[in-house]
């Protein structure tokens, strides 16, 4: 092999480091055996390096490759889709290391490494992950540099320094390209995430579902209001509307179950200024969006359902930002169609007989539907019903009978469930709404952060003349939940985020932890808006703000200008480095001496030693012989002797040398 083609040892070490740092963020997503392959490859390669093992033969390579494919097929059930593809890349990356013999292999390995960085972004573009990936890019680049430093067997810091400098120099141009490169739509459909768990609310609701979700401290979405932020008790983020009860679970109406005429939302009369806000949702792998009622979103791809909720046609795989206008006071569906009335009154034939009976009794005792609502809420309020995150399970065919008459402990979904069943039994159209309630206002940037533990379920009843009216039975049981949030409501129970002891949200009472958390969240919001969520609209706006009217010529000028602005200083710094000679003080002083000699016609010849020069100089200027000898011997002492005893003595000699040289002023004819 040509010496050029060899892989230096330090490059190999950097590559093995890269191998693990690149795999680390994927670790939770890939099967365990791939992690084992990483360790196996690294150990094998190091044994090869130390000469105790040899490179794999052809057959072994084929066997390893095939078993890699087979393993992924068995683990994922398919080779198609984003996750299996990434797992394949990661496996190939590890196996490539074993057969890495020449520099060519190393290039393939390292470029694959850059690619693996990108695949990480397809799962998350979180600020911390991006910073971590930047570190990965630095390590890969360092390995690439080390690959071109033959004979550098020492693991040295200069290598990573150069890689870092180059990346820093590349940064400004990257930013320019990032904001100026036209954002176009996908060229073709790509494998989607098939294995990622759906998060947040699910499309059906059983007692216990919401309380389970409320254990999580993850962020569901962040909201930025244009104007004032409404009171937390007014922020009911509608997501799903559940109109059918089947086998103890609430579900939305399926699209095809709705008659064609009922599929579009009714016209709503809006008046006054709406609440304008924008929401950035975390990926849920589901397709519904959250909004305050009554919401309109003029966004490509955002649809409105007949129950006035918003949804997308495709599942939300990445963070998604949308702008909404809401009119909270607008009346919804003042005229109810027969089909709709029938649907919203339907209950499974035989279940919860006790509950139905109770509802019918209560209805008979009051004059209007409105009073009926009040009577049921009053019952929840006055009787010993308890709001808890740890409700008992409700087995059996009649869960609401059990809940209302026996356990009396429940989370929001229990109360919403029971309430809607009672309303329907009493002849009032009603449905369950699932979403989030409240949210934390971040004082740093005035966004509202809605966490998973803000998940909530409430009810909507239809009253003549008022349309759909929001009723929250939980508020009757635990007003604190609505006013102050879950943490306050559960203060007595101590069950808030019980299973996430490390979540910073648990330490909200410690001021600096809380401030740090909120500041980071504000940063995340900005990151999501300006970087992760940067799209063609924002791009257009930004370019227009900065450059005014956009023209091709301006565009080119800005691009070229920014390139010149970065490349010229870099080039100058590199070339200037070439032009500055780091002479030691000793050499500088000696050269002064030489130039003074040259001034009187005694040029130092190439290859002439100081002694020879001194000899000539002495002969030409006998008067200065002592000086010349002194300078020459001092120079010899300082330059060629081992360090003259101590550093102090050396500086002393150097000072003396300087003085003598300064006093050496030969004149012609001396």
Partner 1 sequence: MQKQSIRQRLRTRFRAWINRRIPPSRVVTLDQKRIFIFPSRVGFFFGFCLLIMLIAAINYQNNMSYALTFLLATLFIIATLHTFANLSGLTIRALRAQPAFPGQQSKFDVLIERGKRRDHFALYMTWPDSTDALVSLVEEDRVQVQLHTAVGKRGWYSPGRLLLESTYPLGLLRCWTWIDLDLYALVYPQPLASAQLPGLATDKPDGAAVPVTGSDDFYGFRDYRRGDSLRQIHWKGLAKGQGLQSKQYAAYADRSVWLDWDMFPGLGIEQRLSHLCYWALEFEGRNEEYGLRLPGVVIEPGMGEKHRDRVLKELALYGQGDKRQ
Distance of closest approach, residue 126 Cβ to partner 1, in angstroms: 10
Stretch that binds partner 1, among 244-252, 443-451, 580-588, 610-618 (CB under 8 A): 580-588
Tokens for 310? 């918003």
**Based on CB atoms, which residue is closest to partner 1, 232 or 533?**
533
Considering only residues 605 to 664 of the shown chain, the ones binding partner 1 according to CB under 8 A are: none
From the CB of 489, what's the least distance to partner 1, in Å? 38
Please name the residues in contact with 461: beta carbons below 8 A apart, sequence gap of 6 or more.
369, 373, 423, 428, 429, 430, 468, 469, 471
Which segment (162-170, 471-479, 500-508, 540-548) binds partner 1 by CB under 8 A?
162-170
Cα separation of 105 and 26, whole Å? 23
Q: What token pair was written down for 111?
A: 């470029």
155 versus 181: smaller Cβ distance to partner 1: 181
Q: Give yes or no for residue 187 binding partner 1 (CB under 8 A).
A: yes
When asked if residue 80 is in the footprint of partner 1 (CB under 8 A), the reply is: no
Contact flag: residue 164 with partner 1 (CB under 8 A)? no
Question: Of 598, 584, 580, which is closest to residue 666 (Cα–Cα)?
Answer: 598
Does position 534 bind partner 1 by CB under 8 A?
Answer: yes
**Residue in 55, 73, 111, 155 binding partner 1, rule: CB under 8 A:** 111
For the CB of residue 10, give the shortest distance to partner 1 in the complex, in Å.
Answer: 12
Stretch that binds partner 1, among 106-114, 254-262, 423-431, 587-595 (CB under 8 A): 106-114
Residue position matching structure tokens 């080390």: 146
Q: Which of 377, 281, 264 is nearest to 324 (CA)?
A: 281
Choice between 7 and 634, CB closer to partner 1: 7
Q: Does 335 bind partner 1 (CB under 8 A)?
A: no
Indicate which single residue of 516, 567, 598, 662 sits in contact with partner 1 (rule: CB under 8 A): 567
Q: Taking a C-beta distance cutoff of 8 angstroms, is the pair 354, 404 a contact?
A: yes
The C-alpha atoms of residue 177 and residue 562 are separated, in whole angstroms, by 10
Catalytic entry in 26, 398, 451, 456: 456
- Sign of the C-alpha dihedral computed for residues 319, 320, 325 and 329 taken in this order: negative
Please, what is the minimum distance in Å from the beta carbon of residue 3 to partner 1? 4
444/570 with CB nearer partner 1: 570
Instruction: Reduce the DSSP state of residue 574 to 3 states and report it.
Output: helix
Rounded to the nearest whole angstrom, what is the least distance from the CB of residue 185 to partner 1 in the complex? 8
Q: Is 472 a catalytic residue?
A: yes
Is residue 117 annotated as part of the catalytic site, yes or no?
A: no
| Tokens (6 digits) for 602 | 């005694």
133 forms part of the interface with partner 1 (CB under 8 A): yes
Count of C-beta atoms within a 10 Å radius of residue 391 = 19
| Nearest-angstrom CA–CA distance, 245 and 507 | 39
| Closest CB to partner 1 among residues 197, 575 | 575
Site for partner 1 in 286-325 (CB under 8 A): 318
144, 213, 358, 614: which one contacts partner 1 (CB under 8 A)? Answer: 144
Q: What tokens were used for 130?
A: 């991006």
Can you give the three-state secondary structure of 183-250, one letter per residue?
CCCCCCCCCCCCCCCCCCCCCEECCCHHHHHCCCCCEEEEEEECCCCCCHHHCEEEEEEECEEECCEE
Told to check if 188 binds partner 1 by CB under 8 A, we report yes
Residue 275: strand, helix, or coil = strand
Q: E strand or H helix at 161, and its extent?
A: helix 157-180
526 binds partner 1 (CB under 8 A): no
The helix/strand/coil state of 664 is coil
Per DSSP, the three-state class of 376 is helix
- 126, 307, 401, 472: the catalytic one is 472
**How many residues bind to partner 1 according to rule CB under 8 A?**
64
Tokens 């044994």 belong to: 47
Q: Distance from CA of residue 414 to its chain's centroid?
A: 35
**How far are the Cα atoms of 112, 157, 198, 320 from residue 287, in angstroms, in the given order?**
33, 49, 10, 11
CA distance 12 to 10: 5
Residue range at the interface with partner 1 (CB under 8 A); choices 247-255, 381-389, 483-491, 527-535: 527-535
Sequence-separated contacts (24+) of 129-136 with Cβ below 8 Å: 129/25, 132/25, 133/25, 134/167, 135/21, 136/18, 136/21, 136/22
N-term to C-term CA, the chain: 65
Q: Does residue number 107 form part of the binding site for partner 1 (CB under 8 A)? A: yes
Site string for partner 1, 112-131 (x = CB under 8 A): --xx-xx--xx--x----x-
Q: Which of 71, 248, 504, 533 binds partner 1 (CB under 8 A)?
A: 533
Label the pairing between strands 409-410 and 386-387. parallel
Give the separation between CA 649 and CA 637, rounded to whole angstroms.
Answer: 12
Is 103 a binding residue for partner 1 by CB under 8 A? The answer is yes
Catalytic residue among 18, 351, 412, 414: 412
The single residue among 79, 135, 177, 464 that binds partner 1, judged by CB under 8 A, is 177
Binding partner 1 by CB under 8 A: which of 22, 97, 98, 147?
147
CB of 188 or CB of 256, closer to partner 1: 188
Please say if 594 is a catalytic residue: no
- The interface with partner 1 within residues 189-218 (CB under 8 A) comprises 189-190
User: Which DSSP category does 533 fall into?
Assistant: T
Residues annotated as part of the active site = 412, 456, 472
> Using CB under 8 A as the criterion, which residues of the chain lie in contact with partner 1 when the complex forms?
2-4, 103, 107, 111, 114-115, 117-118, 121-122, 125, 130, 133, 137, 141, 144-145, 147-152, 158, 162-163, 166-167, 169-171, 173-174, 177-178, 181, 183-190, 318, 531-535, 563, 567, 570-571, 574-575, 577-582
């Amino acid at each position: 092999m040509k010496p050029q083609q060899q892989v230096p040892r330090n490059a190999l070490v950097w590559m093995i480091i890269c191998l693990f740092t690149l795999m680390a963020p994927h670790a939770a997503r890939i099967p365990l055996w791939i992690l084992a392959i990483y360790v196996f490859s690294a150990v094998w390669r190091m044994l090869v390096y130390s000469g105790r093992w040899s490179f794999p033969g052809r057959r072994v390579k084929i066997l390893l490759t095939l078993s890699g494919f087979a393993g992924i097929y068995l683990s994922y059930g398919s080779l198609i889709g984003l996750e299996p593809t990434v797992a394949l890349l990661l496996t190939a990356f590890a196996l490539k290391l074993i057969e890495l013999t020449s520099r060519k292999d190393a290039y393939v390995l390292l470029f694959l490494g850059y690619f693996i960085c990108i695949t990480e972004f397809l799962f998350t573009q979180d600020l911390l992950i991006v910073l971590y990936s930047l570190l990965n890019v630095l390590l890969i680049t360092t390995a690439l540099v080390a690959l071109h430093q033959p004979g550098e067997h020492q693991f040295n810091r200069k290598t990573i320094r150069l890689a870092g400098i180059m990346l820093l120099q590349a940064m400004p141009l990257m930013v320019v390209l990032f904001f100026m490169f036209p954002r176009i739509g996908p060229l073709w459909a790509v494998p989607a995430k098939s294995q990622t768990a759906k998060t947040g609310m699910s499309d059906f609701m059983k007692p216990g579902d919401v309380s389970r979700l409320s254990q999580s401290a993850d962020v569901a979405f962040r909201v930025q209001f244009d104007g004032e932020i409404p009171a937390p008790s007014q922020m009911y983020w509608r997501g799903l509307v559940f109109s059918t009860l089947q086998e103890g679970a609430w579900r939305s109406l399926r699209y095809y179950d709705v008659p064609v005429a009922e599929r579009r939302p009714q016209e709503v009369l809006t008046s006054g200024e709406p609440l304008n806000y924008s929401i950035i949702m975390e990926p849920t792998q589901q397709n519904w969006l959250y909004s305050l009622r009554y919401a309109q979103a003029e966004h490509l791809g955002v649809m409105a359902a007949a129950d006035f909720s918003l949804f997308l046609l495709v599942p939300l795989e990445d963070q998604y930002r949308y702008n909404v206008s809401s009119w909270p006071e607008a009346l919804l569906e003042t005229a109810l169609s027969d089909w709709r009335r029938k649907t919203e009154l339907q209950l499974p034939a035989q279940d919860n007989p006790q509950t139905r009976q109770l509802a019918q009794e209560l209805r008979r005792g009051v004059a209007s539907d409105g009073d009926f609502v009040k009577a049921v809420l009053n019952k929840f309020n006055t009787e010993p019903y308890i709001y808890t995150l740890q409700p008992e399970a409700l087995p059996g065919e009649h869960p609401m009978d059990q809940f209302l008459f026996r356990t009396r402990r429940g989370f929001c979904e229990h109360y919403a469930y029971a309430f809607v069943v009672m309303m329907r039994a009493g002849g009032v159209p009603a449905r369950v709404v699932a979403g989030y309630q409240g949210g934390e206002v971040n004082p740093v940037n005035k966004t509202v952060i809605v966490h998973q533990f803000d998940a909530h379920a409430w009810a909507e009843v239809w009253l003549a003349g008022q349309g759909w009216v929001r009723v929250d039975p939980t508020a009757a049981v635990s007003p604190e939940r609505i006013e102050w949030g879950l943490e306050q409501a559960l203060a007595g129970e101590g069950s808030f985020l019980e299973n996430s002891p490390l979540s910073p949200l648990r330490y909200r009472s410690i001021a600096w932890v809380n401030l740090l958390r909120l500041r980071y969240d504000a940063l995340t919001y900005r990151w999501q808006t300006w970087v992760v969520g940067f799209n063609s609209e924002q791009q257009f706006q930004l370019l227009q703000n900065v450059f005014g009217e956009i023209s091709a010529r301006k565009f080119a000028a800005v691009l070229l200008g920014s390139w010149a602005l970065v490349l010229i200083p870099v080039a100058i710094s590199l070339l200037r480095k070439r032009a500055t000679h780091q002479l030691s003080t000793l050499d500088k002083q000696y050269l002064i001496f030489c130039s003074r000699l040259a001034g009187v016609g005694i040029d130092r010849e190439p290859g002439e030693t100081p002694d020879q020069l001194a000899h000539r100089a002495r002969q030409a200027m006998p008067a200065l012989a002592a000086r010349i000898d002194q300078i020459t011997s001092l120079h010899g002492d300082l330059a060629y002797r081992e360090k003259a005893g101590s550093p102090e003595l050396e500086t002393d000699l150097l000072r003396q040398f300087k003085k003598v040289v300064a006093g050496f002023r030969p004149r012609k004819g001396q």
